[in-house]
Amino acid sequence: MVVFLGDSLTAGYGLDPGDALAEQVEAVWRARGIDAVAVNAGVSGDTTANGLARFDWSVTAAKPDLLVIALGANDFLMGVPPDVTRANLSAILEKAGPAGIRAVIVGLSPRGDTAPGSREADFAAIYPDLAAKFGVPYYPSLLAPIESDPSMLQGDGLHPTRDGVLKIARPLAGFLEPEISGLRQAKACPVTGDCAAP
């Protein structure tokens, strides 16, 4: 089981049920013959603080094999200081480790001035920094495949359309596939990690 802990980009803001990101990632896996379940734990409007506050019942209670953390966009839009966002995401990763939950962190590519020292640059740096610190995979940006194509975004210019979700789901699903395969191998061969070993 893979839990997607996120905000409106995960929850499927403005979309019909079943068209949200987690559901479409699972559909990609199914089409590729991968029997993995994606659980949508996205809540529209959530900040990293909200995600941390509901970690126990949104993540731990589900007992997932893998956690995809896709939070921070609302922090940026609401003016939350980057160090606060960094601390919240770090706390989420710190909770995942002892719970035995493998995590993946999804980055943020803020629009605007990304010159060194800018708020945009400070936010963007949070994600690769934490990925390196905690040794977890880093996916740079959900919206990168569509952010320059207005036809893939809803009228607000922030949220993907159904077609936009389909376009961002495919590369994310592919990125997560090795993580799923690694988890399955670890479960099958918990001692050696090598099923071919005698």
Q: Which residues are catalytic?
A: 8, 156, 159
Between CA 75 and CA 78, with CA 125 as vertex, the angle to 5 degrees is 15
Q: Which of 6, 21, 7 is nearest to 162 (CA)?
A: 21
Query: What 3-state class would DSSP assign to 38?
Result: strand
Q: How far is CA 139 from the centre of its chain?
A: 8
Instruction: Check residue 151 and report its DSSP letter.
Output: G
Q: For helices 162-188 and 21-31, give the axis angle rounded to 10 degrees.
A: 60
Name the one residue in this structure whose structure tokens are 């200081």. 81
For residue 86, the surrounding DSSP H or E stretch is helix 82-96
Would you state the structure tokens that stand for residue 146, as one six-digit string?
Answer: 């569509």
